[in-house]
Amino acid sequence: MLLAAVGAIAFSGKAIVVKLAYRHGVDAATLLMYRMLLALPLFVLMAWWGGRGRPALTRPEWLAVAGLGFCGYYLASMLDFMGLQYISASLERLILYLTPTAVLLLGWALRGRAITAGHLLATAVSYAGALLVFGLELRVVPGTATAWGALLVLLSTLSYAAYLFYSGEFVQRLGALRLVGLASVVASACCIAQFLLLHPPEAARVPAPVVWLSLLNATVCTAAPVLLVMMGVERLGASLAAQVGMIGPLSTIAMGIVILGEPFTPWLAAGTLLVMAGIALFGRAGRAGRAGRGAPLNDKGA
């Protein structure tokens, strides 16, 4: 439980680090490039470690990894970083927490998977919480900026949901650590290429705090939590680890208040509780659906 909790808190710190870096006048492309460049050696190590003793990837598998890396780590990260320029870290984290409902909707739209009444209730509760916090921010910062930022983060959520939706078969075939490492290497190459296309080389000269914050983001908020959460899932199972991971939004709000000076209101608390309750209901509905179909629940919650 400690591994899963620390991993979730470390993940949630990403938004705080990004918001701090924006105070130094850098743009999303530069910040994302530094994050992925500094994390690249760790991604390569993860891919190598996860691929030990496994057969080489086939051409279709390489194409799939490239597509998953582009969609799940490059595009999702870029949209997320862009959105954080306009909205608070708290709202960003709550929108990202809607990922399970987005995966459910993709399964219904693309593969005709059934949606139960429990899933609908969980989705409604989750989105009500996110909309509550969104409405609060819209009152504090009127205009299109908040709406644009929320839309960008929502698109990031959908992009990562598509990665999760299509990656299931490849996780079984390649292994989770190997797939994450290889997909992240692809995303790193995309981020570096994007920076070189959009900026002259001298634009890489950024204030020293940006480099240090990017290093913190690459290690403590990116590579380390991937390993910690995977170790937590291995020991707890996916269902319990996911419940422990619900500490993520709370830690983001706490760090936003203490570090960034973001306001804390009863409306923010209510919206956060609704989102967390919706995700809890979503997990319960999924377990009930599997049990109702007569599928045994193993120690991994699958």
- Domain assignment of residue 245, given as a range: 2-292
Burial of 163 (0-12, 13-18, 19+ CB in 10 A): buried
Indicate the pLDDT class of residue 286, thresholds 50, 70 and 90. low
- pTM for the full predicted model: 0.85
Determine, yes or no, domain membership for 187.
Answer: yes
Determine, yes or no, domain membership for 162.
Answer: yes
Determine, yes or no, domain membership for 72.
Answer: yes
Taking only the tens place, the pLDDT of each residue in 157-166 is 999 989 888 8
Determine, yes or no, domain membership for 75.
Answer: yes
Indicate the pLDDT class of residue 297, thresholds 50, 70 and 90. very low
Determine, yes or no, domain membership for 102.
Answer: yes
- Residues 94 and 129: beta-carbon distance below 8 Å: yes
What's the pLDDT score for residue 238? 59
Determine, yes or no, domain membership for 300.
Answer: no
If you search the block for the tokens 């598509």, which residue do you land on? 162
| Residues with Cβ within 8 Å of residue 2, at least 6 apart in sequence | none
Determine, yes or no, domain membership for 299.
Answer: no
DSSP 8-state assignment for residue 47: H
Taking only the tens place, the pLDDT of each residue in 130-161 is 888 888 888 777 678 899 999 999 999 999 98
Total of domains in the chain: 1
Determine, yes or no, domain membership for 297.
Answer: no
